[in-house]
Structure 1
Amino acid sequence: MIWHEFQRPSQVQSDDEERSDSFGRFLAQPFERGWGTTVGNALRRALLSSIPGGAITAVKIEGADHEFSAVPGVVEDVTDIILNLKKIPFRVHGQEPIFMSLDAQGPGEVTAGQLEGSHAVEVIDPNVHIATLSADGELQMTVRVAPGRGYIQAEENQTADLDVGFIPVDSAHSPVRKANFRVEMARLGRMTNYERLVIEVWTNGTIRPEEAVSQAAQLVQGHLDIYSRLAVVEDVETPAAADRQPREESILDTSIDSLELSIRSMNCLKNANIRTLRDLVSRSERQMVEIRNFGEKSLKEVREKLETLGLGFGMNLDI
């Protein structure tokens, strides 16, 4: 029997007719039989569980001691207010929690657009309803918005630095609201036993669907990289490798300026306090894509530059 190399897609197509800031449909073909499901399932699980996002993790409402309190002049009780706050989509720039405040006078509706704070946080949908105030009603509150991943219970959001009066709340950080995939038949020449993978992604608008899929793919790939190196583990302890160590150490202390990167990529690295190649290779690809404005294009550029030096992301520098 003649063995043939696996057929794999060379690119991903986007359905531009229905594409928006919160929905995307992506098609790739041809996959060998069974591989559409394998890839689709891995991406879907990563999309639903592992894409980071911002959410409110604690609330302080003047006149409310706990979440079952009622605030005079406010139609909703504190429990309902907290439920409404959880619906607000936030885009957080950076890795630190940010505090936002709200001071509203009645009568009228209080919405997410009335929250004020740092430029490091964006309220994507300012029309989200928070509360309704009567003529003599007043609502003063402070919320803590933090980046995170997945679902975090209120107990975990009760941090030591949280001031008295704050109510920790459970937080759902995933910006992906829904992710589906399906596998269809695809033709390659006269052969019809190939597969087309169709992935559909809905987000809350804080991240574009294509960015979410790209991050999911990088996460899956990053977890598989260690297995691809199993076949060469025995070659590590060789004299040649030992001879290379002093040279590699000297390269690692070289400035990132030696990579001659694009201005955008260089600025992103320096803003993240990455100064040398040692700083760079000690980070994983997942950590790199979390840097503000550092997208897949920049990641690819830096990866290719490192490969020319025999380096890569996620290197264990303690060995």
Structure 2
Amino acid sequence: MSTPVIKVENLVKRYKELIAVDHFNLEIREGEILGLLGPNGSGKTTTINCILSLLSYDKGTIEVFGKEMQPDSYDSKRKIGVVMQNVAVFDALNVYDNIDYFCGLYIKDKQLRRQYVEEAIEFVGLSDYKKFYPKKLSGGLLRRLNIACGIAHKPKLIFLDEPTVAVDPQSRNRILEGILELNRQGATIVYTSHYMEEVEQICTRIAIMDKGKNLATGTTDELKQMIKKKEIISIEILDISDEDILALKELKNVYDVTYENHKLTILCSNGKHNLIHILDYLQTKNLSFGRVYSELPTLNDVFLEMTGKELRD
């Protein structure tokens, strides 16, 4: 078991009557890419700000690198990089000078800083844009500049908040490859995103939070085992009676059946032969059907089952 880089126990943060973080617990191990997921207003940003000691909190303990995190924990903070969702660079500085400025907050040796800045520029693929000002950069290039500013000092722990929002597929791919490379180089990463396929692709473990609580933590496969939905069977069928739909619901392991736009969707909670039982029923009733699909649940299914489907602000 690797060493915990972050350890949060019973964290509580209130804003008057609102409990933004409610006895939140989380452990992040060295070398992980931990995906922190939650609907809008779930408490993700508040939790991160408490971990970084940017916010005071009402109860609980937070340790980073084995030490209690405090506003003046400068030794720990020097080893942390933060890339927030809102791009935070200086419009009056070009690409090189922006990265140099942020790197200079941590690295005072000019020669070493110059080396780190050049390496960060190369890492995010901005070598041809050193003299460009932010207003001249596309959205994807701007995101990559924002990342370079946050990681140029070679932090051991990196927080990445929605780093691929509103970028083209090419830039998104470059950013994700960069995150994996940072991890291979030894960085522990906390990653937030609403793109579930990204989280499945790069995260070693995932924590799902809502209403300030940690609902579940585990690998993608572990989280999928925690929900009721284990198999989704879709069948194209021109017509089916309400009586047959009710009969399908009575089959073993079936817990929900819907029929819409000539598509029969059957949710199963477990079992290895669900599809065989369903097709046997349809054939016994002489019901003609077309294409048949059997799918395992996705991370998005896990997220919606745990946090609900109602819209959030």
TM-score, normalization: structure 1?
Answer: 0.23
Q: TM-score, normalised by structure 2?
A: 0.23
